[in-house]
Amino acid sequence: MNLAVQLPGLTLKNPVMPASGCFGFGKEYSEFYDLNTLGAIIVKAATGEARYGNPTPRVAETSSGMLNAIGLQNPGVEKIITDELPFLRPFDTPVIANVAGSTVEEYVHVATTLNKSQDIAALELNISCPNVKEGGVQFGTNPELAKEVTYKVKEASNFPVYVKLSPNVSNITTMAKAVVDVGADGLSMINTLTGMQINLKKRAPIIANKTGGLSGPAIKPIAIRMIYEVRQALDVPIIGMGGITTAEDVVEFLLAGANAVAVGTANFQNPYACPEIIEQLPQVLSEYGFSSVADAIGKGHVHE
């Protein structure tokens, strides 16, 4: 069965890759299995300078999901290029760098700095970060801000840019169109939904940052809906994610219109999640009558 997928800047042997922030920079899970099995790897967010991240607790468990507020902890883009990414060089698996920042300038700086890396194949532009200049409004919930940061990062980068959309919006298609209009090579969706859990004993939010991002199977129906909507409006490559834990989930994302998928939270539950999903994918695809990954993409769309 042909699992290969061709996306801007990415030749994937299969459509399954770990999601940003759920796989570090690859070292830890390389102790569990051969990273060559992966379609690609999206590494943890990079910012201009090193970030400590938020105080702990940073995670909480919810029904079929989890909240996280890691706070973009990372050693900074320079150190990522010199100390983290080279580890992934020997693997025959494209690496996607996740770009974050608090100002347009920081995003551009990160993207420009990443131009010198030999170890990456594409950027994932994480626009779910709050813009400190605009008083914390997320780049990802304001089409004008999203446009601006996408345009400037596209201009600065030598790599294809996949813009990672936030689901915390009324109209995902408007956001998708905004960033595609200014040159996004693809979309990555969805990031987490903002949530909170309150500790009854402590009478306070469990997560020190109060709110956190909701991920996991709980959000899958929202991810599927958003990908379906965007796919109906736009012909653009989509890396789909949000609650994937099985090969059946992958096929559901493909049917909704994703060209490839990322697996996040499931890695924590099962460190072998990605290779197991990849192993089962051919069988599940053929069980539902598909002859390849390409054959399934967008096939869940009903045309009246």
Partner 1 sequence: MITKKRLEIISHLQIAEATFEVTVKSDFAAELKPGQFVHILVPGHMLRRPISIANVDREQKTFTMIFKIFGEGTKKLSECRSGDYLDIILPCGSHYPIEELELEHALLVGGGIGVPPLYYLGQQLKEKGVKVTSVLGFQGKSHVFYEEKFQQLGDTYIATNDGTYGKKGFVTDIIKELDQPMDYYFSCGPTPMLQAVTTLLANEKGYISLEERMGCGVGTCYACVVPLKNDPTKNKKICKDGPVFYANEVLLG
Q: How far apart are CA 102 and CA 261, in angstroms?
A: 27
Looking at the Cβ atoms of 182 and 266, the one nearer to ligand FMN is 266
Residues 21-50 that bind a second copy (CB under 8 A): none
Residues 3-32 that bind partner 1 (CB under 8 A): 21-24, 27-29, 31-32
> Tell me, what DSSP letter sits at residue 118?
S
As a whole number of Å, the end-to-end CA separation of the chain is 31
Distance of CA 187 to the CA centre of its chain: 9
Distance of CA 192 to the CA centre of its chain: 9
Write out the two tokens for 185.
């090579």
For residue 271, the one-letter residue type is P
CA quadruple 89, 164, 75, 264: dihedral sign: negative
For residue 14, the one-letter residue type is N
Exposure of 71 in the CB half-sphere (CA atoms within 13 A): 15
* Smallest separation (angstroms) from ligand FMN to the CB of 20: 4
Residue 132 near residue 158, CB atoms below 8 Å:
no
Looking at the Cβ atoms of 64 and 292, the one nearer to ligand FMN is 64
Binding mask 84-123 for partner 1 (x = CB under 8 A): ----------------------------------------
Query: Is residue 22 among the annotated active site residues?
Result: no
210 contact choice in partner 1, ligand FMN, a second copy, none (CB below 5 to 8 Å, kind-dependent): a second copy
Question: Nearest 5°: phi and psi at 194?
Answer: -75, 125
Q: Is residue 48 at the binding interface for partner 1, with CB under 8 A as the rule?
A: no
* Smallest separation (angstroms) from ligand FMN to the CB of 151: 19
Region of 17 (left: φ > 0; alpha: ψ -120 to 50; beta: rest) is: beta
Binding mask 182-221 for partner 1 (x = CB under 8 A): ------------------------x---------xx----
Q: Could you say which of 1, 4, 8, 73 contacts partner 1 (CB under 8 A)?
A: 73
Q: Is residue 38 at the binding interface for partner 1, with CB under 8 A as the rule?
A: no
* Smallest separation (angstroms) from ligand FMN to the CB of 149: 14
* Smallest separation (angstroms) from ligand FMN to the CB of 157: 16
Q: Which residues are catalytic?
A: 129
